[in-house]
Amino acid sequence: MFAFFRARAKLQEEKDKLEQNMRELAEQALMYQRLAARYSVAYAELETEVKVLRRRAKSAPPAAQFDDKEIRILIGLCHPDKHNNDLRALEMTKKLILMRK
């Protein structure tokens, strides 16, 4: 008879543990659902931002294009020798030299 009560008590313990596990899993599922909803909203906001940026990029004027002759003229105009060896003139001259084909 005692074996019956021990087996029943053991089954009750297992049932309680399973019910506790189910409660914990339900809490975790709810947490993940909320997290997924937040990520979904953030994703939608990013998609909207990308669309706006793409529209802006399409409507933006094209970047200025300089041919070799124009680049030589610009180098001559901003060369550091003509601007008391100013570091800004040096940097711009370096960039212009890199732009040459």
pLDDT in tens, 71-100: 999 999 999 999 999 999 999 999 999 988
pLDDT at 24: 97
Same domain? For 33 and 82 the reply is no
**Coil vs helix vs strand at 60:** coil
Residue with structure tokens 């005692």?
A: 2
Q: Alpha-carbon distance 89 to 86, whole Å?
A: 5
pLDDT at 101: 63
Domain that holds residue 47: 1-60
- Quick one: average pLDDT of 10-19? 94
Same domain? For 67 and 56 the reply is no
pLDDT at 59: 85
∠ at Cα 95 (76, 86), nearest 5°? 60
pLDDT at 27: 97
Same domain? For 43 and 8 the reply is yes
Same domain? For 52 and 80 the reply is no
Q: State in Å, rounded, how far the first CA of the chain is from the last one.
A: 98
What confidence category does residue 22 fall into, taking pLDDT thresholds of 50, 70 and 90? very high
Q: Alpha-carbon distance 19 to 9, whole Å?
A: 15
Same domain? For 31 and 56 the reply is yes
Cβ(89)–Cβ(60) below 8 Å: no
Same domain? For 41 and 76 the reply is no
**Coil vs helix vs strand at 50:** helix
Same domain? For 30 and 53 the reply is yes
Same domain? For 99 and 71 the reply is yes
> Using one digit for the tens of pLDDT, what is the confidence trace for 31-81?
999 999 999 999 999 999 999 999 988 887 777 788 889 999 999 999 999
Same domain? For 44 and 73 the reply is no
